[in-house]
Structure formats: C-alpha cells, structure tokens
Amino acid sequence: MEETKLRKEAHLFPAPSLSKKVVKRIMYNFIVKKYFRDCKTILDVGSNTGIFIDVAKEHNKECSGIDLEPKREGVVRMDYRDLSEKVDGVFAGQFIEHTDGFSFMKKMQEIVRKKLVLVVPKANKSFWDYPDHVKPFTIKAIERLFKEYGFRKISAVNPPTIPFLHWTSSFIIAGKKV
C-alpha cells in the first residue's frame, strides 16, 4: 500500500528538472512524516551533508547526526559503534551495507526506543563498484535482522527509480521496536 502511494507521488520526481538535493528532500519529507511521526529525538547515522537533519528539524524533531567523514558543521565525527545515548528513532540512509549488519543491528537494539528506518541499496552489479561496501542486503535479510534484534517490520517500500539519483535504486524499510 505504501509503495503504491509513493508510486502515485512519482510525478514529484521529474528526473533532470530537479537537483539531487531537492529529490532527497522530497524523499526525506516522506520518511519523516510517514515513519517518525511519534518520535521526538532522531539520530541520522551516516549523515554526510546533513540534508535529513534539516528536513527532520523542519518537522520540529530534535535531530542530530554522525558520520566518519562529516561534510558539514554540526555533524559529529563518530563511529556508530561508539553510540551510547538512546533516541526515539534512527535513520540510516545508504549505511548498513558498509557494515556486516550484525554489529549495526546490535547497536540499534541498544539505542533505539521506537523506530529504525533504513534506506538500503538493492544488490546489483554496480553495488561492488564501491570498495567500502561490505555486504549487500535484501528486504528479507533486513526483516530477519529486525526480528533477531527486537524490531518488527512495519513497512518495506521500493521508491520509483530516478536515473540520476543512485539511491533511488534502493528500498526503504522501517521497523518498530518490540
């Protein structure tokens, strides 16, 4: 049902006429409104440029971010394994594939109080073009990790593919802490 809704909103993604930043903001707005409605505090793991943080704050969320190589002021240089502070929700876009999955989910089990939302690239030939990719994940694999680490899948969505924005060839999967 959510995938259908997102596909109906595909007209919002007229590829070349919008910048990558604008398209990301549209997707992040969807994610914040859909999945983090009941979360006050959100952590963006793998923040990069911090666009998700900006969008979450526009929705009156207390949002912070970490990254090993932050690209903006305000994003803390930190490894996810060093996290200790609990938050209502965690967003990790294009991140879990840089881990073995188990250590990441163990840490999420420790710090997430309510929701965990991942944007995960679909395994394809170009996945291995990135030398820092450790492991590809399928929706089924993430569902199993969720279950093993105390989360219940509430949604899995395949957004429309946008040729110039590589992460749209990913899936969004959300879990609720049980």
Domain-located, residue 12: no
What are residue 106's phi and psi, to 5 degrees? -60, -45
Query: What's the rounded Cα separation, in Å, for the pair 133 and 118?
Result: 15
Q: Report the relative pairing of strands 151-157 and 170-177 from DSSP bridges.
A: antiparallel
| Lowest model confidence (mean pLDDT) among 39-43, 54-58, 167-171 | 167-171
What's the CATH number where 31 sits?
3.40.50.150
Choose among 111, 117, 95: nearest CA to 37: 117
Predicted local distance difference test score (pLDDT) of residue 123: 79
Domain-located, residue 63: yes
pTM: 0.86
Predicted local distance difference test score (pLDDT) of residue 126: 81
Residue 166 has pLDDT above 90, yes or no: no
Domain-located, residue 28: yes
Residue 129: pLDDT band by 50, 70, 90 thresholds? Answer: confident
Residue 160: pLDDT band by 50, 70, 90 thresholds? Answer: low
Domain-located, residue 148: yes
Query: What's the rounded Cα separation, in Å, for the pair 67 and 46?
Result: 5
Domain-located, residue 38: yes
Residue 150 has pLDDT above 90, yes or no: yes
Domain hosting 130: range is 2-7+20-177
Domain-located, residue 100: yes
Across 68-77, 89-98, 164-173, the highest mean pLDDT is recorded for: 89-98
Overall domain count for the chain:
1
Predicted local distance difference test score (pLDDT) of residue 163: 57
Predicted local distance difference test score (pLDDT) of residue 151: 98
Residue 87 has pLDDT above 70, yes or no: yes
Domain-located, residue 15: no
